[in-house]
Structure 1
Amino acid sequence: MLADAARVYAGDPGLRADIARLRARIEWNTGSVHVGHRMILQAAAEVAPHDADRAREMAMFATALASFGASSGVAIDPVGLVPPADESGPPRRRAFAGLLAGLDHVTRGDWAQAASVLRDTFAVAESCDEDDQALLPNLGIAALHLGEDDLALRYHTLLLSRARDTGALVLILYSLTRRGFIEIATGRWTAASAGASEALPLAEGSGQPGLAVLPLSLLALTAALRGEDTFDGHLAAAEQVAAAHPVGVLENLLPDMLHWAKGLRAAAQPATAFHHLEQIAHPMLQHLAAIDRIDAAVRAGQRDTARAWTDELDGFAAATGSAWAAAAVAHGRALLTGGDAAERHFEQALAHHAYSRRTPDRARTELAYGEFLRRARRRVDARAHLRAALEIFEDLGAAPWAERASQELRASGETARRRDPSALTGLTPQELQVARLVAQGMSNRDVAAQLYLSPRTIDFHLRNVFAKLGVSSRAELARLPFD
């Protein structure tokens, strides 16, 4: 490899470190995350006596990799490589120092310390350059770990904008897919699907086939959530890519994503769903799928496991103060108890949901609460919750869950009025992406440049969009709910 050859002839420690960082980045993106971890950690130790800032940044990359399961066995403490950054130092230095320490706490599962350090770091980062394409992705990673939905969306959207401006294709791919995790959690499923659909051809055209596995997995996940027939094809494609090519940092995360998708697909068969969901090992995916996992465990008769998962999440909620986590804990407690206690827990869950953007989780709680009330022969009380759940599920396009809510509503003595699905679901992924960008005020030429298509192709897609949606102007398009 050219980077390896160049490093042999590089005498300057800083230059050698930069070459090593490039080589490690290639490895953790398209090869082995463990080899990449070893490379960056050893290079950080080598440059530390010469350049503390370089060493700190590289050590931070090592802790970021470790937070996703990288373990090279190198006996180097990344946090101890350089002295802590002085509080009066430059914001960028302090931000990298905070990420280094905070992500190390994440790796160790010390959520209270991670939350304290990383939230201070987010505040420091407000004074940093918003074009910093080394800092932004790692701020986004930290926010994902903590379940800070607003910040995770902000950092990845900002990174996407900067990457589009500079034509950095890999960072466009990166930001579209990482943002997809929070878009799924917060019910922005149309945006998640559109982002994955845009990312897929970029990955396939990159010369690194393994990069396609994350957009394919996100497409499988959104298809499972919506009960779409495309699920099997996306799942098979993702598994085929993963079997044939190295997937770098996704090595540990990918199996969890596919188990989550399979568990969602099998929601009507609790034992099968539980079989898949119990295999999710990474804390970030465990937390994203928390209500799915707890619900499947209870329905499969695995109450001790459901209780253990709820207790673990309770610790995370207490350490981070996360509203969505507290809501999921209360939801789990409600499923594991009965009578007045269950009702109190459901009410607590809904109170916490009011402070969270995770509307799919709120719909699940409304549904479970309605089911509980109906089985307690409180049919009138049940209907309000079942109607609320049905409305959210229909807005999301979550067909399997909408059908379950509709059945429960009928069983309560009320006929659910079927709502017209959004015409947006009739757009192809490419049409949807064009429509979203035009709705943001972009010209056809700008959209063409951003999607790497010709203006004529954009014109063609936009005519189809107008016809399918029944709109006649860009202003009408801008008023449609694309999230």
Structure 2
Amino acid sequence: MLVGRHRESAHLADLLEQARHGAARCVVVRGEPGVGKSALVEDLVSASGDVTVLRTQGVQAEAPLAFAALHRLLLPLTRLREGLPAPQERALRVAFGEEDGPSVEPFLVAVATLSLLSAAAEEQTVLCVVEDAHWLDAATSDALLFCARRLGADRVLLVFSLRDDAGSFHPGGLDELVMTGLEDNASRELLGQRVGGVLAPGVADRLVQETGGNPLALLELPPALTASQLEGAAPLPEQLPLSSRVEAAFLDRSRALPTPTQTALLVVAADDTGDLTTVRRAVRALGVAEEAVEEAVASGLLVADAQTLRVRHPLVRSAVYQAATGTQRRAVHLALADALTVAGDADRATWHRASAAEGPDLKLVAALQDVGARAARRGAYASALAAYERAAALTTDSAQQAALTFAAARNAWASGQAEHARTLALAARQSAVDPVLLADIARLLGRVEVNLGSAVDAHRIFVETARTVSAFDQPKALEMAVAAAIMRTYGADSGARLADCDVDAEPVEGNDPRTLVLKQLFVAMTLAAEHDWAGATSALDVGLEAGDEVVDLDVLGNLGNAALQLGADAAQQHFYALTLSRARDTGAVLTVVYALHRLCFGYLVAGDWPAVRSSAQEALNLAETVGQRQLRTPALAWLTLLAARQAGDDFDTLLTEVDEATATYPLGILGDPVHDLVRWAKGARAADAGDASGALHHLSRLRVPALTRMAAVDRTDAAVRAGAIDTARRWVDELAPFADATGRPWALGAVAYGRAMTTQTASETDSPPDMGADGLANDPDTLFREALAQYATAGRPFDEARTHLAYGEWLRRAQRRVDAREHLRRATETFADLRAVPLTERANAELRASGETARKRDPSTLVDLTPMELKVAQLVSTGLSNKDVAAQIWVSPRTVAFHLRNVFAKAGISSRGELAQLDLG
């Protein structure tokens, strides 16, 4: 039993017991160096019994080596890999350097890790111990944090231990067990065990006070004191920072050893493999007998078992390594590099040579380039970044330095370090002269601006880059031109324009599908920005026909964007869904998040509001899981709009969250859509509360053209109810050319609705109706019926129900109560299906005023599910197996089964087939 750690030991034992019963748990054991984190974890492992124990440790020198710590952790589970989906199995092989091939997404490695842990937990409870997590390589850290946040009904306990200054390891949201110093009585007990002989009470008191009860200090400082000091006859040394004193104690012990033994200690301190054979080989290369290794182990500063060798505590490593001279460290690193080369570990060997480098070294630069390229293929972008940065620092060739710095920037971008990517790209631009490289740098800077900075600046960069590269790289010019054209449709327009000769957008025989689609996208979005809706629609239709043959996720996503801008609801949903499906298959997690955001547009107008909620919630959770918190903001905005529509109790909370997020994180091109969604939500909330002026205020501030058109019914309704008839008419007139040119039924319906609403007052006179330019009588009756005829095929049930409601209200006021009831019933039913509470109540009130009592909805058909339960129920209802669902949403099959059981219990059903009969809203 550990001295003074009963509470902490009991807590970990309880977590392990919960894991045994199918409730995965994760805990971060945090504390200062020497506080006893490793001892506590070792105590847990010793008492764990019949569990599968997986262990790994972060090593500071190993940080540039991608997936090194993860490989050690999962090595005992190698036999289970064959049961993983093929893409996941391959991802692990590539990540661990067992297979060389096309690059893999790092997120797919994380998903494969989750699947492997889940598979192991099916056999037996799994205890994963990850010590010194603050020194994990970034790729391992990301994968394990993903698992920690996605493990559900799995028999897994994941324990991280780390220092208070966690460095690059950010376990936000995970449960923590904070370890502090031992209480005074426990400290004295430990001191007594360590000293054994005479220890003056005053000396014990001072040691307890100065160490703060730190167990390592209590164990290591007494041996550094003389007998006179322990007895209180001689003064104690002056007080030093605790970690410095413990390091000094370790250093004093190492300096008391023979010089060859000190050399062996330094080799182990610089080594990151823990491999005894490698250490012995390096020691021999330094002219030291292998016996020195055994002497270092005997000193108690090293710990050896079988073929592994490690320092007793990280402070031993830092004490020994920092005390060595530069010459000594370089010699040790070169010896380790040679030893690792013999062992076939080229990447580690290269990093040791880099640590020994004193100046420019072209051969080492080439080796680091190879390391960076291999890391990038394995999806270890942070490791690739480190390799390219180090290579750039070791060359004096300015052109090569620019290329290497840009390679580092590209990998910084891929690893989610956007600001660092910008800094590196700007540095590369200063010394770059190659026009191709300069174009690539500009393109990356444009992408950074799109996501973090000024979308208008990004538009200018894309246009100028397209113009520059058009002379020597038409495909790249076309890509930049498409990006700029799409940005214009979002309102990000710098005024820069491309000449006809800058981009070859004419389709020719032999164009591959991707090129053909890009050309049509450029034409369509350029025409859309000029409000040539007919030409834009025609060009887009050609691109949509070829879209299914495209595999490029960016191009597929842009097809969805273009369809959104031109109101092609079905095409928009198809290509966003295709993007999502393929991104899930490849583990392109950020693309998954973006696709989930964008699918919400179509789900909202199609009346699939449960899908809006589940997609937004999944995007929210994934963004949090992968540490891209700025990508939570659009999801929060969608949930806020949905809460406004459904009078959700969480509206104010969500509004506060999204306001805080927009104030905290740069949104780039997402800024205007997010702000518009929030304005739309506020407008809907105000309208439902009877505040027509407030609704008009918010809805008149929408900026994104596609969202303005999407909210047309809300905007018209708010303006009319606020008495701003001229504003309403102007908005309808602005929408009409789009509707006429594209022929979208929803747009034609919105125009007819708007005209009906703005002619109601005139219709109440005895004057005969005027005829509009479209041949329709300008009276509400005709216009409402025209709107409903268009909405009948539009696939926008909410807007259709709004039209039924407005028409029913007008009919009731015109004393046509029987006619009104049919439309009010239709409106009530749709609003109830959507759980649009305020409008359901309004339609019910109108129905009662018409002389009919609304039928109450059967509450038994409503099932109140959590977002994850809803997502699982929706996927299972399509016929997918638990394993297929797990692969779709990146959880374990056991977690899917857990949520499915909850769905069955809440819905009172007993079979998967009954899910299709539920109202999953």
TM-score normalized with structure 1 length: 0.94
Aligned partner letter, 2:711? A
Confirm whether residue 148 of structure 1 aligns to residue 568 of structure 2.
yes
Shift of 1:479: 4.4
- Residue of structure 1 in register with 2:477 after alignment: 55
Per the alignment, residue 298 of structure 1 pairs with 720
**CA contact 1:32–1:247 (8 Å) conserved in 2:** no
Deviation at 1:115, TM superposition (A): 1.8
**1:352 aligns to what?**
790
Deviates more, 1:196-205 or 1:414-423: 414-423
Tell me the residue number matched to 1:87. Answer: 508
Partner in structure 2 of residue 2 of structure 1: 409
1:285 paired to 2:707: yes
8 Å Cα contact 1:85/1:93 also seen in 2 = no
Q: Given that residues 33 and 251 in structure 1 are in contact (C-alpha distance below 8 angstroms), is that contact kept between their aligned partners in structure 2?
A: no
Does the Cα contact within 8 Å between 1:424 and 1:432 map onto a contact in 2?
Answer: no
What SS does structure 1 have at the residue aligned with 2:900? helix
Alignment of 1:465-476 (within 5 A): 465-476=903-914
Alignment of 1:36-435 (within 5 A): 36-73=458-495, 75-77=496-498, 80-90=501-511, 91-126=513-548, 128-129=549-550, 131-267=551-687, 268-337=690-759, 338-339=763-764, 341-421=779-859, 423=861, 425-435=863-873
Compute the displacement of 1:255 (Å): 1.9
Could you report, residue by residue, the CA deviation over 1:187-237 in whole angstroms, capped at 9, with x for unpaired residues? Answer: 111111110000001122333322111100000111111111111111211
- Structure 1 Cα separation of the partners of residues 472 and 611 of structure 2: 45
Q: Which residues of structure 1 form unaligned runs of 5+? A: none
Moved more, 62-71 or 259-268: 62-71
Judged with a 3 Å threshold, the aligned counterparts in structure 2 of structure 1 residues 179 and 422 are, in CA distance, closer, same or farther, namely farther
- The one-letter code matched in structure 2 to 1:250 is L
Kindly indicate whether the alpha-carbon contact (under 8 Å) linking 1:191 and 1:482 is maintained by their aligned counterparts in 2: no
Stretch moving more, 397-406 or 200-209: 200-209
1:117-171 C-alpha deviation (Å, 9 max, x unpaired): 2223223435x32x22121111101110111111111111111110110111111
- Counterpart of 2:603 in structure 1: which amino acid? E
Distance of aligned partners of 1:265 and 1:422 in 2 relative to their CA distance in 1, 3 Å threshold? farther
Q: Which has the larger displacement, 421-430 or 113-122? A: 421-430
Q: What is the CA deviation profile of residues 272-301 of structure 1, one whole-angstrom value per residue up to 9, with x for unaligned ones?
A: 111111111222111110000001100100
For 1:450, the equivalent position in structure 2 comes to: 888
| Alpha-carbon distance in 1 for matches of 2:441, 2:916 | 45
Whether the aligned pair in 2 keeps the contact of 1:423 and 1:468 (CA below 8 Å) is no
Q: Single out whichever of 339-348 and 21-30 deviates more from structure 2.
A: 21-30
User: C-alpha separation between the residues in 1 aligned to 2:873 and 2:445?
Assistant: 38
* Secondary structure, aligned partner of 1:426: coil
The answer for the alignment partner of 2:267 in structure 1 is none
| Secondary structure class of the residue paired with 2:811 | helix
Structure 2 counterpart of 1:441, which letter? G
In the other structure, the counterpart of 2:200 is none
1:171 maps to a residue whose letter is T
CA 315–421 in structure 1, closer or farther in 2 if over 3 Å, else same: farther
Distance 2:574 2:792 in 1: 21
Could you say which structure has the larger radius of gyration? 2
How far has the Cα of 1:265 moved from its partner? 0.6
Measured in 2, the distance between the counterparts of 1:116 and 1:23 equals: 33
CA contact (8 A) 1:143 1:152 kept: yes
Deviations 1:435-467 (A, max 9, x none): 112222333233333333333332221111111
CA root-mean-square deviation: 2.2
**Greater than 4 Å deviation, 4+ residue runs:** 5-20, 421-425
Cα distance in structure 1, aligned partners of 2:524 and 2:499: 12
Structure possessing the higher relative contact order (Cα contacts under 8 Å, 6 or more residues apart): 1
Give, as a single letter, the amino acid of the residue that structure 1 aligns with 2:737. Answer: G
CA distance in 1, matches of 2:808, 2:471: 63
Aligned counterparts of 2:679 and 2:801: Cα–Cα separation in 1: 22
The code of the aligned residue for 1:319 comes to A
CA distance in 2: counterparts of 1:429 and 1:143, whole angstroms: 28
- CA 1:329/1:118 → structure 2, altered by over 3 Å: closer, same or farther? same
Tell me by how many angstroms 1:328 deviates: 1.0
Cα displacement (A) at 1:105: 1.7
**Contact 2:756–2:781 at 8 Å: present in 1 too?**
yes
Give the secondary-structure state (helix, strand or coil) at the position aligned to 1:228.
coil
Which one of the candidate residues 871, 876, 879 is aligned to 1:441? 879
Instruction: Using the TM superposition, name which of 447-456 and 414-423 deviates more.
Output: 447-456
Structure 1 window deviating more from structure 2 (303-312 vs 106-115): it is 106-115
Question: Residues 94, 79 of structure 1: CA spacing in aligned structure 2 closer, same or farther, 3 A cutoff?
Answer: farther
Normalised by the length of structure 2, the TM-score is 0.50
Shift, 1:257, TM fit: 1.3
CA positional deviation for 1:264 = 0.5
Contact 1:59–1:78 (CA<8 Å) still a contact in 2?
no
Cα shift at 1:101 = 1.5
Gap regions ≥5 residues in structure 2: 1-407, 411-424, 770-778
In structure 1, distance between residues paired with 2:504 and 2:883: 50
Task: Name the stretch that deviates more: 168-177 or 43-52.
Answer: 43-52
Shift of residue 100, structure 1, vs aligned partner: 0.8
Equivalents in 1 of 2:846, 2:900: separation in Å?
A: 40
Paired with 1:138 and 1:379, the residues of 2 have a C-alpha distance of: 48
Matched letter for residue 503 of structure 2: V
Q: Counterpart amino acid of 1:387?
A: R
d(CA) in 2 for partners of 1:367, 1:32: 42
